[in-house]
Structure 1
Amino acid sequence: MVHGPYDQLNPGSPSMKYGICTKKYPKALIKDTVTGIDGYPLYRRRSTDDGGFTKQHTLRAVGEAYDTTLDNRWIVLYCPLLSKVFNAHIIVEFYNSVKSIKYICKYVNKSSDQAVFGLEKDGAQVDEVARYESGRYISANEAMWRIFSLPIHAQNLTVQHLSVHFENGQRVYFTETNLQQQLEEPHDTTLTAFFKLCTLIDFARTLLYCQLPAYYTFDGSTKCWKRRVHGAVVPDHIGIYQTDALARVYTVHPNNRECFFLRIMLHHVVGPMSFKHLRIVEGHVCATFHEACRRLGLLEDDAQWREALEKSATVWSPVQLCKLFAIMLSTCQLYQPLQLLQKFKENLAEDILLHERQLFQDQQLQFKVLEVTNNNLSIYGLPRPVRVEQPVVCRKILREMAYDREELRRHVETNEPLLLEKQRAAYNTVLEKIEQSSSGMVFLHAPGGTGKTFVTNLILAEVRESGKIPLAIASSGIAATSLPGGRTAHSALKLPLNLARTENPVCNVKKNSRTARLLQ
């Protein structure tokens, strides 16, 4: 069970390509078996210092013989018992990842091996076209399996997928001819048909949504549930049959909070007749599915999240604490987020920068939630902050406006008289275009050391002092450092990194993202 050895002594070996073994031999010598980064195990291969063995081997290649030393790096994985019993080379490996299992299944389920053979008569002229023929090799056991027409595939248990959606939130397919009809009377889904079935059949009101396919089958043409006609008879219910059919309710990501809680209610409420009926708990109509789940006790409490915030509040800054709370809101499914907010409100608000406290008051948490999830606080059941200033909630815009205008005004007053004639011409040209809101491109061309950066920084200060937002963008990081608030074009405009090799390059800026709002 030795692979090779293949190296520079035998470059013509089938396993060698571009001077490297395609089977990645020799392997590394390691003390214990570990799992590699790709999911495949790296097996223990003992060195001579760790009890491994070596053997002298004569390698014959290119018409010559060479003496070489073999060790465990060249040994192929094998089971001594199998190799001895079958007297054959048998590779044995242990797989423990999904990727490895898929690799095995690929070989199990692939088609038969292909063989090439030739047919010719003695002394006949060689026909290059007819000489070789492509055929299929079928082993004896596979041939018998096919001759007796034994099944090669079997499917047990019927699986019915069940949809989850809000009221009037189902997917509707329409054309130009049936648009109005689909708007007025859309087809029922498995969920809406379940509600209608519960209003008509008493037995259906004893079932959960996920139990329905065992007793009913969904007719795709009429979009309604029908009784099964085969199966085990259900006692005390005439004409009802039970099968082993399974239901698979479509998954909903926890970030889609209300739909996620709707799915939970469908697994715990028996025989609902409408979306409103799902929200009725002990005679009380809940405003949301989240409230209904909370009243039924289907949600855990916030003890572990409360403890995490308490520990973090002792060592973390308010900015870090706000970000942690925002992550909890978006990923941890808090039971009562409003109570956590009220408990740690002072910790979240202390030590905020003075200009943010003056301009935006209690919007620090809102900014962090927007930065992490791009959602408003109302999505998570928390009150949105009352804004007395301009309703700007984009943190990128806040950063571009967080300049001391008084300091900028002093900078302009000090440096504007120092402009030379041509510098002032460029300075006035840019400011006139900004004042007139006219688009255009101004290219400032001058030798190094003549004040291009000085003019650019003065323009930035003048625009920022007036309350507008200029974007200082440079082509390189070194050039960006010479501009106040400067950034590279790849960072500010989300340019693709392989710009020169892309046929149709597109900036990676989503329509409603914070970067898009800043550019607007």
Structure 2
Amino acid sequence: MEANENYEHARKLSYAEFPTQFVWNKAVPSLWVPRHIGFAIGRNHSVPASFDNAYHLRILLNKVKGPKCFENIRTVEGVVSDSFRDACYRIGLLDDDKEYIEAIEEARHTANGYYLRNLFATMLITFSLSRRDYVWDNIWHFLVDGILYYQKKKHKNPGLTLSDKQLKNLALLEIEEILVSNNSSLRSYDGSGKTYLWKTLSASIRSKGEIVLNVPSSGIATLLLEGGRTAHSRFLIPINLTKDSQCHVTGNTDVSDLLKKTSLIIWGETPMIHKHALEELDRTLKDVMKCDLSNTSESLFGGKVVVLGGDFRQILPVVHNGTRNDCVNATISSSYIWLKCKVLKLTKNMRLTIGSQMSNTLEIKQFADWFLDISEGNLDGTNDGETTISIPDDILIKHSLNPMFNNLTYFQERALLDPLNEVVQEINDRMLA
């Protein structure tokens, strides 16, 4: 982007074509400079379709020439698209999904809602859809076919009525069951939980024109957040940590300028990072913000707002040859930073309640509480390192040789979904026999 600003002939090249006429200069500051000798061929790294934002950015980088900022990459015929995906669609690099919508509309004349929901789930699993939300908005009223009938039968209430929102949630719940059986989940597309919270916070701050840094502790987590980058990479944190080490950020660099302008830092999966890394960032931000006389550099993180997220029930810092006490002592809760943190907790398990009925709310809460009691060692006696856990009968697999028979009732109820579905009824009859 900087080369496009400085060199006119650079604006005629896509990013993959840059190495043919430019060379990457590793000197400080790093930049592209015109090539005088030699020849090179460039390519962009392959990105799987499941990494939605990065995947569509890569498509655009192979086509768009001369962008001077990320907004230029998303601009098509003078209109700035909301996302890289939308920009790909406007340019014509993606199908409009019309054929998939027509396929479901055609199938509804000969197939029941259960089949249509399976068909839509298959489209999700195979990443066939370019705009999933657009397709859903156009075909959801076909996918909910049979759900009201099934609910009337289940609750023995012929006069039962459901709102459009309730029908959608029940359809999504069934689609989720299909995806889970295929090692996937709706969470892979638009999920809930901490990631949803981080995305919402980022979008809210960025909508005001301010800068947000998403810095998860793991590389995999960076793929879930827009502009995500590991904390070690973003803050130049050294690999070998000590209580006195410092981030490699000096006063007059691009990184220090970025930190000064940043309004919010979101550091995900914090419990798995060593406390020395957080303390290093605290010292670094205090040092960087000293250049700003209006800022009280003695406050935590130089006065910057930092959101630290994660779950202490998950992975803790790994201490080489360390004992249990060493690992606990390496967590943020053992740091001086913890004393100045305001702790906020997410208390509602959204992944369990999405698409569920109000009548099941108590049952879902009891299961969630039971699950948390296990993870916290509060179940069946004192937490002395060893205990016997009683598994509730409703989640216990009793038929070890053929676990499918545990869901026999499910197949019986499924057969009632559509009296004309002779295939499902035949399978049910054979299982009973």
Tell me the TM-score normalised to structure 2 length: 0.42
Which structure carries more helix by proportion?
Answer: 2
Instruction: Please say which structure displays the higher CA radius of gyration.
Output: 1
Which structure carries more strand by proportion?
Answer: 1
Tell me the TM-score normalised to structure 1 length: 0.35
